[in-house]
């Protein structure tokens, strides 16, 4: 039986035969309610002319592909919880027919009329799907209706505003859940607890104690099978506008008045509105060439299948940002993301200031490593605090030691981010979802780089990006953390 706070509802997934549904959403839904009754019934919607047995067979194959779910369990679960409706070409009459099918399923399943409409679709399909839903009256139901929209939400500020306007023709903002799956990660959520429940850190979380903040989202993989999308997106749209900006706002925001969705999102928007406009010399774009990642030789981006051999798409972005508010004035925030970097890792590294006075004999300020806190988002979620200690012996000699906490060591395996976010949608909790003004502010900030991108700098696969990115951080004696 599902958790008691979850009202019974219909979960309608548009794009149900696509990669996101089969690879991410199905396992998450199965984890929410693996056996017996569930608080939801899933209706897969797509253009393919599948029947329900065919759709269920496809879903069973996805659930059992890695051996984690026995075939018999998956088949029983699919038969109990999954339905399928084709919308054909997506004409108005197709959506009217879908409306009738949803009402039929609700009657058969004795559901009260609550609905989640999940757009697991390519971004180009968002507008026609939303218009189709509105034309058929599917933005309303007997109970509540919630709309879930995946990233990317727009391609630039103008398209994000247009998409928000279209969404708001039919849905109130309180009904809309814009997903950024990074916000479902346990460590990202714990940032609020870590900062605001521990006075030790919150009292030092400002310009008086912090020297700089580094946020890195590194991928060791290349473009893989996403060349068609990536060629029109690039790292700036794909990662910076959403994932990195979300990590930045949670790191820099002030304490909200209450632990409530809009109060938290208000503080995040304040951070975005306090950011200085990005100047050309504060951004570095790169593109990976042939190189070695691990022990394997890999091709350059332009040699990847489906990529234009003269492509100018950036696979690496590094930024130096300044937040003009009372808390962070004068503290640089360094953001970077890239493909074909040495390792897959995501972290927030807070570098504290060195002591203002140095009095230890036989040592110098240059021999001390300033305290730092690294918040690991993936792959090993946790925290690492670097402090200075005295080595044993007569001489005063210092050594850096690291105190660490890992979620897996204490709590065991963590829930997948999509499982967390889906449960929040079902509960009606918008805390971990991106609001309309937040989306538009993040697009506004990177608009100058979209209009006038900096020169593309090459870097070999397996390196930490172009050498030019070092010049972003060296003023003030800063440096990127490698690894």
Q: What is the pLDDT of residues 244-275, one digit of tens each?
A: 999 999 999 999 998 888 999 999 999 999 99
Q: What's the average model confidence in pLDDT over 414-434?
A: 89
- pLDDT above 80 (res 440): yes
Active site residue 404: no
- pLDDT above 90 (res 336): yes
**What is the per-residue pLDDT for 68?**
79
Please report, rounded to a whole number, the percentage of residues in the chain having pLDDT higher than 70. Answer: 96
**What is the per-residue pLDDT for 33?**
80
CB–CB of 364/397 below 8 Å?
A: no
Task: Name the band, by pLDDT with cuts 50, 70 and 90, for residue 36.
Answer: low
Widest Cα–Cα separation across the chain? 85
- The region of weakest confidence among 9-23, 45-59, 62-76 is 62-76
Q: Where are the beta strands (DSSP E) in 130-224?
A: 145-149, 176-178, 210-218
Owner of token pair 């030789």: 297
**Higher-confidence residue: 32 or 356?**
32
Q: How far apart are the first and last CA of the chain?
A: 44
| Cβ contacts of 20 within 8 Å, gap of 6 or more | 120, 150
Distance CA 66, CA 61 (A): 9
**Higher-confidence residue: 331 or 387?**
331
Q: What's the average model confidence in pLDDT over 112-123?
A: 94
DSSP state, 339? S
- pLDDT above 90 (res 12): yes
Q: Where are the beta strands (DSSP E) in 179-322?
A: 210-218, 283-289, 291-293, 296-298, 316-322
| Cβ contacts of 166 within 8 Å, gap of 6 or more | 127, 130, 131
Q: Of the candidates 42, 50, 55, 60, which has an alpha carbon nearest to the alpha carbon of residue 2?
A: 42
CB–CB of 399/120 below 8 Å?
A: no
- pLDDT above 80 (res 475): yes
**What is the per-residue pLDDT for 354?**
84
Among 9, 81, 83, 243, the one annotated catalytic: 243
CB–CB of 209/353 below 8 Å?
A: yes
Q: Which CATH superfamily is domain 183-415+434-473 in?
A: Dihydrodipicolinate Reductase; domain 2 (3.30.360.10)
Q: What's the average model confidence in pLDDT over 368-387?
A: 88
Work out the number of other CB atoms within 10 angstroms of the CB of residue 22.
19
Owner of token pair 């029947």: 51
Task: Name the band, by pLDDT with cuts 50, 70 and 90, for residue 4.
Answer: very low
**What is the per-residue pLDDT for 364?**
58
Q: What's the average model confidence in pLDDT over 36-65?
A: 90
**Higher-confidence residue: 37 or 208?**
208
Distances (CA, A) of 212 to 147, 333, 338, 372: 38, 6, 20, 10
Q: Of the candidates 448, 230, 115, 175, which has an alpha carbon nearest to the alpha carbon of residue 164?
A: 175
Instruction: Name 319's bridge partners.
Output: 283, 335
- Quote the tokens at residue 74: 């998956």
CATH of domain 9-150: 3.40.50.720
Q: What's the average model confidence in pLDDT over 146-162?
A: 93
Helices (H), 260-322: 261-274
- pLDDT above 70 (res 362): no
Q: What is the 3-state secondary structure (H, E, C) of 402-444?
A: EEEEEHHHHHCCCCCHHHHHHHHHHHCCCCCCECHHHHHHHHH
- Quote the tokens at residue 115: 């609905």
CB–CB of 136/95 below 8 Å?
A: yes
- pLDDT above 80 (res 363): no
Distance CA 462, CA 293 (A): 5
pLDDT digits (tens, 9 = 90+) for 58-94: 999 999 987 778 888 889 889 989 999 999 888 999 9
Would you list the domain boundaries of the chain? 9-150, 183-415+434-473
Top-ranked range on mean pLDDT: pick from 328-332, 367-371, 415-419? 328-332
Q: Of the candidates 336, 315, 333, 344, which has an alpha carbon nearest to the alpha carbon of residue 457?
A: 315
Distance CA 443, CA 173 (A): 18
**What is the per-residue pLDDT for 118?**
97
| Cβ contacts of 483 within 8 Å, gap of 6 or more | 342, 343, 345
Q: What's the average model confidence in pLDDT over 399-425?
A: 86
Q: To the nearest 10°, the Cα dihedral for 94, 100, 102, 103?
A: 170
Q: What's the average model confidence in pLDDT over 128-147?
A: 94
Look up the pTM and report it.
0.91
């Amino acid at each position: 039986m599902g958790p008691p706070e979850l009202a019974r509802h219909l979960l309608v997934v548009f794009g149900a035969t696509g990669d996101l549904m089969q690879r991410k959403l199905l396992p998450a839904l199965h984890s929410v309610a693996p056996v017996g009754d569930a608080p939801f019934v899933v209706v897969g919607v797509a253009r393919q002319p599948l029947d329900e047995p065919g759709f269920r067979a496809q879903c069973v194959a996805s659930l059992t592909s890695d051996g984690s779910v026995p075939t018999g369990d998956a088949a029983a679960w699919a038969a109990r919880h999954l339905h399928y409706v084709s919308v054909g070409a997506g004409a108005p009459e197709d959506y009217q027919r879908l409306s009738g099918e949803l009402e039929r399923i609700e009657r058969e399943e004795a559901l009260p009329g609550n609905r989640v409409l999940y757009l697991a679709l390519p971004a180009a399909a968002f507008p026609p799907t939303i218009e189709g839903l509105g034309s058929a009256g599917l933005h309303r139901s007997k109970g509540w209706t919630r709309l879930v929209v995946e990233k990317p939400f727009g391609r630039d500020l103008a398209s994000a505003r247009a998409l928000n306007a279209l969404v708001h023709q039919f849905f109130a903002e309180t009904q809309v859940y814009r997903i950024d799956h990074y916000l479902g990660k346990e460590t990202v959520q714990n940032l609020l607890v870590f900062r605001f429940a521990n006075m030790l850190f919150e009292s030092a979380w400002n310009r008086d104690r912090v020297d700089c903040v580094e946020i890195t989202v590194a991928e060791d993989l290349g473009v893989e099978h996403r060349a068609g999308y990536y060629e029109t997106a690039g790292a700036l749209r794909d990662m910076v506008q959403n994932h990195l900006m979300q990590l930045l706002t949670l790191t820099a925001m002030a304490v909200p008045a209450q632990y409530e969705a809009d109060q938290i999102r208000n503080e995040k928007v304040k951070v975005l509105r306090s950011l200085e406009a990005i100047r050309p010399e504060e951004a570095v774009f790169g593109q990976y060439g042939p190189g070695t990642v691990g022990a394997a030789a890999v091709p350059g981006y332009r040699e990847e299948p489906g990529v234009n051999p003269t492509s100018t798409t950036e696979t690496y972005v590094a930024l130096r940002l300044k937040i003009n508010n009372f808390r962070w004035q004068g503290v640089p925030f360094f953001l970077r993301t890239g493909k074909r970097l040495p390792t897959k890792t995501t972290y927030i590294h807070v570098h504290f200031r060195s002591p203002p006075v140095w009095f230890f004999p036989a040592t110098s300020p240059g021999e001390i490593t300033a305290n730092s806190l690294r918040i690991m988002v993936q792959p090993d979620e946790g925290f690492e605090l670097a402090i200075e200690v005295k080595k044993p012996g007569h001489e005063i000699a210092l050594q850096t030691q690291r105190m660490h906490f890992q979620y897996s060591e204490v709590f065991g395996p963590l829930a997948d981010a999509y499982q967390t976010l889906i449960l929040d949608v079902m509960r009606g909790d918008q805390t971990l979802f991106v609001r309309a003004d937040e989306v538009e502010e993040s697009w506004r900030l990177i608009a100058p780089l979209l209009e006038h991108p900096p020169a593309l700098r090459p870097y070999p696969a397996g390196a930490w990006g172009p050498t030019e990115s070092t010049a972003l951080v060296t003023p003030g004696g800063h440096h990127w953390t490698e690894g």
